[in-house]
Structures are given as structure tokens and as C-alpha cells.
Structure 1
Amino acid sequence: MALWDKFKQSAQTMQGQLEAKKNELKSGGFRDASMAMCALVAAADGSIDPAERQRVSALITSNDVLRNFAASDLEQRFEAYLAKLTADFELGKVSVLQDIAKVKKKPTEARAVIQIGIVIGGADGHFDKTEQAVVRDACFALDLAPVEFGL
């Protein structure tokens, strides 16, 4: 239980850091990379059930940092990334990671995308190994050290 409490505290800290930088996170690149990350975490195990899709969609539309963007636009982009991942996970993953990598020259946005992935991954109370692995892959795509995020 102590490990989960530590992770939960870390996720809350990351959400606070995201909210503090909310005014810096308004670019289209950040929007797209964030939705790509959400889809990647949601489909981390290679599939996504309707309940998980709905839960992640609800988290996206209720996240204060993502309110810089229209909820319908976020949902549309999230669904488009999920479609790529569910059609062919490995090929879709390459494409999604390329879209995530587009913010690597903007360190604030790059770190925020990773933090969103961690917050989304842990929102159900269990940040499993497949979710951690895809967030680590995104760290590498962004030239960030996974250890910086406890991965």
C-alpha cells in the first residue's frame, strides 16, 4: 500500500505542476501530443475496452490543464489516435510516438505530456507495467530521462 500512496502523491504533484504551467500549454503541438499520449496509455496493452475508453475520455475533458482546448476537439483527436492504435498497435505506436516527439524542442510541453501520461495511467488506481512501458517509450521519443519521472 505504501508504494501506491507514494505513486498517488507523485501523480497529484504532477497534476499541480501541470496546473501551474497551464498558461504555457496552449499550442496545437501540445494538444496533439497530449491526446496521442492519452491514447497510447489507454491502449498500452494492445486493446481498449469501451469502459476504459469512456473513463479516459472523461478524464481528458475534466482535466483543468486541457481546458485550454475545446473538449470536442480533444475527444476527436483522442479517438483518431485510438483508431490508429487499435487497427495495428505496433504500427500505430510508431506513428503516435512520432506525433508525441514533435514537442521535444519545447521542454515545458514535453515534460507536461509525460506528466499527463502518468496522471492518466494512474487515474484508475493502478499504473501497470504496460502503461509504464509506453510512457517510458514516450520519454525516449522526447529525449527525456524516464528516471526524472520515477519510471
Structure 2
Amino acid sequence: MTGFLKQVADAVLPAICVVGIGYNGLLYLNAPEGVRMNNLLQDRIADSRAELAALEAERQRLSDHADRLLTASLDEDLLEERVRSVLGLVRPNEYMVRMEDLDRLAAAPADMPAPLLNEDAPVTLAALASLDTAR
């Protein structure tokens, strides 16, 4: 009987060790602290860092824009650009072509006669300046 127990021990003990090593290997790969989860977390960290960098760049751009809008350091070029785009003001020797008009002309058939200019003439910066001096 001792021979039988020795044979069982010689066969079962290595089998138990192989199963234990295999189980630990699966845990190493698939457990919440495993390699796959670590790779997923590293990918999420990289994505979050890229998003953070983009948001910081946007914040810096907005901060620079806000700094230029302060009255103490008002950028005249920025002010003129905003006046032109928002209010549609131009200087007396300039023409303003609106993108909506260009899009409408581009979509028109080629044999169609050119439309008349819009009667709504844009207000000029000189007219605005004359209003300012009249006050």
C-alpha cells in the first residue's frame, strides 16, 4: 500500500502544482490588479492627459483673449476686428462682402443674371466716428 500512496503522491502533487500555477497565471492576467486592467488604466490615463492638454491650451487661448479685451491693455486690432465682424462696420474706402452673399452667388446657376446689390449699405467707421464726435 505504501507503493500505491507513493504513486498517487507522485502523480497528484505535480498536478496540484500545475493547477495552482495556472490559476495564479490567470489571476495575474485577469484580476482587477492584473496586466490587462493595468493596460486599460494606462490607456485611460493617456487619453485623460491628452484631453487635459487640449483643455489647458483652450484655457490659455481664452485667457489671452480676455487679457487683450481688458481696457488697460486693449488691443486695437482685436477691437477693430470685432467691430467689423459683429457690427458690419467698414472704412469709407473699403467694401464689405458678406459670406452669405458669396454663398448665394456660388449656388446660383451660371446663366442667371447677377443680382442687384443689397440696399442695406453697411455703416462705415467714419459715420460711427462722426456720431462719436457729435456727442
- TM > 0.5: no
Higher relative contact order (CA 8 A, sep 6+): 1
TM-score in terms of structure 2 length? 0.21
TM-score in terms of structure 1 length? 0.20
